[in-house]
Amino acid sequence: RAASPGTGVNQVNCHPFKAGRLLFCHNGRIEQFIRVRRRMQELFTDTAHQLVRGTTDSENVFALLLTFLSQDGLSEIPPWEQTTPFGHKRLVVAIQKVLRTIEKLSSEAGLGEGFNTCNFSLTDGETMVCTRYCSKSPHVPPPSLYYAFGDAQDLYAELTEEDEMPISGLHPKIVDDSTDPMTDESVNVSDDEEANYNSADEELESTSSDNNPILRHVPINLTLSKPGRILANVDAQKACLIVASNPLTRTHTWHRMPSNSIMWYTRGSFPELRLICDRGENGKRSSRVILTM
């Protein structure tokens, strides 16, 4: 693994981190983690603290996420013991709270000059939630993150056929979705679609904290992807979503996730993408794709 400063390179520090049916990966770093570690760990439940075996900022972030899941009041079963799927709403809200807490801890530690990068991937085996995030975006871009959505058998065949091919030999089609969809005039969504998305987002926000960042819909159903538009021409019952730091196949279209965005996908459904937006001083949606203190 590429270790963050002050952490060791050993097996217990390697991703993914596991608790019950949850797996978690983190590409990025928490700025000067040693200065926020103690304050972060003070937030952990006793069991979440005991689950930390290594020294990485990533595993501590996972413990923070487990703490928030255990305190959300949606299940009497601790997340590390839960055997049923969590559902995307619960996982998304927990990740929102993790991002907000990391920024709050960094601010309280006087680390405003640095930045945090949080490309997270979380799954319970049925739902996957991933983020591409940097606290100083757009001035500092987060690490790269791409996704491909299509027929599961076709994607699996491409992945296994190319296992022995060096990455330099791959020439995938890449679609840059990093343009801010909030100002992209080429993206048009019908009034009915927008109403449905707003209703779904309001329901998601109703289970979230007032301090959590707002999520703004990105209409990926209008994005082109082999064998066609992502949502219109792919059978969700036969499809899968792959997310990776770099494209992994030659022929399938890979899309770059926008900076400061979050995507979720549940088996048998379609992926959804949101921008992570600041609530602003009045608590309403802001067009800025950053979090403020």
Q: How many CA atoms lie within 13 A of 84 on its CB side?
A: 6
Distances from the Cα of 53 to the Cα of 18, 127, 139, angstroms: 11, 25, 35
pLDDT of residue 249: 83
Over the stretch 248-285, which tens digit does the pLDDT of each residue have? Answer: 887 778 889 999 999 999 999 989 999 998 655 445 44
Q: Please name every residue paired with 272 in a beta bridge, in sequence order, or none if there are none.
A: 264
- Sign (positive or negative) of CA dihedral 6, 9, 13, 14: positive
Which residues, other chains included, contact 26 with Cβ-Cβ below 8 Å and sequence gap of 6+? 15, 57, 58, 61, 62, 118, 119, 120, 121
pLDDT of residue 217: 67
Residues 262 and 91 sit within 8 Å (Cβ to Cβ): no
Q: In this model, does residue 21 exceed pLDDT 90?
A: yes
Q: Please state the φ and ψ torsions of residue 146, each to the nearest 5 degrees.
A: -125, 155
- Mean pLDDT, range 60-79, rounded to an integer: 97
Tokens of 57: 């900022």
Tokens of 43: 């937030």
Phi-psi domain of 93 (left: phi exceeds 0; alpha: psi -120 through 50; beta: other):
alpha
pLDDT of residue 200: 53
pLDDT of residue 243: 95
Query: How far is it between the farthest Cα atoms of the chain?
Result: 54
pTM score, whole prediction: 0.78
Report the range of poorest mean pLDDT among 17-21, 212-216, 239-243: 212-216
Q: In this model, does residue 191 exceed pLDDT 50?
A: no
Over the stretch 11-20, which tens digit does the pLDDT of each residue have? Answer: 788 989 999 9
- Mean pLDDT, range 123-140, rounded to an integer: 96
Q: In this model, does residue 58 exceed pLDDT 80?
A: yes
Distances from the Cα of 213 to the Cα of 75, 205, 268, angstroms: 23, 9, 28
Residues 13 and 1 sit within 8 Å (Cβ to Cβ): yes
